[in-house]
Structure 1
Amino acid sequence: MKVILAETAGFCMGVSLALKKLDRAVRKGGATICTLGPIIHNPQVLEHYEKLGVKRIQSPAEVEPDTVVVIRAHGIPQDVELELKKHGVVVVDATCPKVKKAQLLIERQAERGRTLLLYGEENHPEVKGLLSYAKDDAEVFDSLEELQGHINENQEYFLAAQTTQDRGVFEQIRDYAKQQSNLKLPVLETICDATKVRQHEAVEVAKRVDKMVVVGGYQSGNTRRLAQVVREQGVDCIHVETAEELNPEDFADCSLVGLTAGASTHDITIDEVRAALEGMSSRADH
């Protein structure tokens, strides 16, 4: 069976930078190293760092003396970061630069008294961090339908999105929000270009194949959305974390399969999935 691998599959810039900072801390040694929450949403990568002795904590209250705390790529809420620093530990900020930029842009608009309209997953750690910069004055929604009916035409708003959201949907939300408001609506460009390119390429590959496979953590928002945009093209799509999850029966009628991966998926995992797919025989091969 032949496999078309998307060029953009795998680590994005933000994930690569975060892991480089964690690697640097591990190499330096001399202190307990921990991350506040998972550094990225990928179980295989997290297991690798656990074997290197990197611990994971869920709140600043768990911090022990003489600890280096690495802030996850998704970022953390402002109050959590301030609490961390009060403990006197060494803090390494591995927040993705795109997320950090979104945080600061949101803070600037919130300081002008505007209410944030945020397109994103309410329980996602990145979104929780972004909301903290809005001074608790925000509306969160994950679809146009959820936003409809919630805009006060005479209230000052500004619009932003979680960095890994679908740009096409965001543009529909932008157009709707502008129609509903009588006031100027600043629109922040917070969706990462890498997300747009990755989704566009996944769609283009999907048009050429019998079936698509998306590789990445089940907790990874950008990976789930890759699978979603492919399915919206009417193409069958299978989301797996590892090659072991692939079922040959699912590809019995396929001669050409597309493969892409989320922004937190390691090249090793992608290569393993590709090799497993290429090793399968379709009915067309017989």
Structure 2
Amino acid sequence: MDVVLAETAGFCMGVDLALTRLDELIANANGRPIYILGPIIHNPQVLKQYAEKGVVMVDTPEEVPSGAYVVIRAHGITRQVEEGLKSRDVHIKDATCPRVKKAQLLIARHADKDSVLLLYGEADHAEVAGLVSYAGNGSFVFSTPEELEQYELAKDKRYVLAAQTTQDRVLFDKISERLSSDEDVEVTVLSTICDATKLRQAEAKKLASEVDFMVVVGGYNSGNTRRLAQVVSDAGTPCKHIEILSELPLKDLVGYSRIGVTAGASTPRVLIDEVLDGLGSL
């Protein structure tokens, strides 16, 4: 059996940067408590490790006591929450992914009070909530082209089309082309999908065409990991999305001659290596 690991599997630049900043803060906090607004990244194993180091995860800024450090997660937070934090006696450490921050600023610049934001993404995702908060005159979030088609676009309004940074670039381009071809609709298209996401998905699709089975490693609550699994499945290759090795039915894979492995942007290398070792034992 051959096992092939995707080159881009594991931490992306934004996740690596966020965790590096948190590690540096832990090393230099001098006893000052450290809080995170929501999960710094979407990986339960990583979050458990930081909890064991004393990092406290909370859902609202009101739960952060005065004088404490508060870390803004890689997915970013809403503009309103950030303004609320700045008005309080807390020490803010911004670990927002630079790609997400860029998307926020682009939306703030183009989706002003005279336009409506059309955002391709997951409505319940933390990053999406942050992006939407920078729109000046309302927004519509859709996760499929069909949902957008059901949304009635007005001829007398201006629209701004953007996407969650980890969405499928190919599908977004198709959505963009369709909207731009409608002469009755004025739309400005923003480039907010991360290049690393595009590369990771393209590589997963290519690898899927070269193997008999694919394993995608990463948190179940990680949007970019779920989309990797979807890209592989859409390519017609059998696929299993797991968080840890124990969830992989190794005995069922004995009959495959070539297995590919990739991982989400928030998946630590140690979990990937455990999966590789497990497959290697076959």
On the 8 A contact 1:153/1:180 being kept in 2, the answer is no
Correspondence for 2:65: 64
Correspondence for 1:2: 2
* C-alpha deviation, 1:179, in angstroms: 2.9
The code of the aligned residue for 2:196 comes to: A
Correspondence for 2:28: 28
Percent identity between the aligned chains?
Answer: 53
Partners of 2:267 and 2:13 in 1: CA distance: 12
Correspondence for 1:228: 230
On the 8 A contact 1:22/1:70 being kept in 2, the answer is yes
Correspondence for 2:177: 175
The code of the aligned residue for 2:263 comes to: A
On the 8 A contact 1:153/1:181 being kept in 2, the answer is no
On the 8 A contact 2:15/2:265 being kept in 1, the answer is yes
Asked if 1:108 corresponds to 2:109, the answer is: yes
- RMSD over aligned Cα atoms: 1.1
* C-alpha deviation, 1:175, in angstroms: 1.5
* C-alpha deviation, 1:231, in angstroms: 0.3
Partners of 1:184 and 1:256 in 2: CA distance: 49
Partners of 1:255 and 1:184 in 2: CA distance: 52
On the 8 A contact 1:212/1:237 being kept in 2, the answer is yes
Correspondence for 1:84: 85
Q: Secondary structure at the match of 1:180?
A: coil
Q: Secondary structure at the match of 2:154?
A: coil
On the 8 A contact 2:157/2:186 being kept in 1, the answer is no
Correspondence for 1:158: 160
Asked if 1:242 corresponds to 2:237, the answer is: no
The code of the aligned residue for 1:138 comes to: S
Partners of 2:220 and 2:136 in 1: CA distance: 30
Correspondence for 2:76: 75
On the 8 A contact 2:114/2:137 being kept in 1, the answer is no
Superposed counterparts of 1:76-155, under 5 Å: 76-111=77-112, 113-135=114-136, 137-150=138-151, 151-155=153-157
Asked if 1:192 corresponds to 2:182, the answer is: no
* C-alpha deviation, 1:84, in angstroms: 1.4
TM-score (norm 2): 0.97
Correspondence for 1:284: none
* C-alpha deviation, 1:253, in angstroms: 1.8
Q: Secondary structure at the match of 1:185?
A: strand
Aligned equivalent of 1:262, options 242, 260, 264: 264
How many residues align structurally? 280
The code of the aligned residue for 1:23 comes to: D
User: Compared with structure 1, are the counterparts of its residues 23 and 136 closer, same or farther at alpha carbon in structure 2 (3 Å cutoff)?
Assistant: farther
Gaps of at least 5 residues in structure 1 are 281-286
Partners of 1:144 and 1:111 in 2: CA distance: 24
Q: Secondary structure at the match of 2:189?
A: coil
Between stretches 241-250 and 173-182, larger displacement belongs to 173-182
* C-alpha deviation, 1:85, in angstroms: 1.8
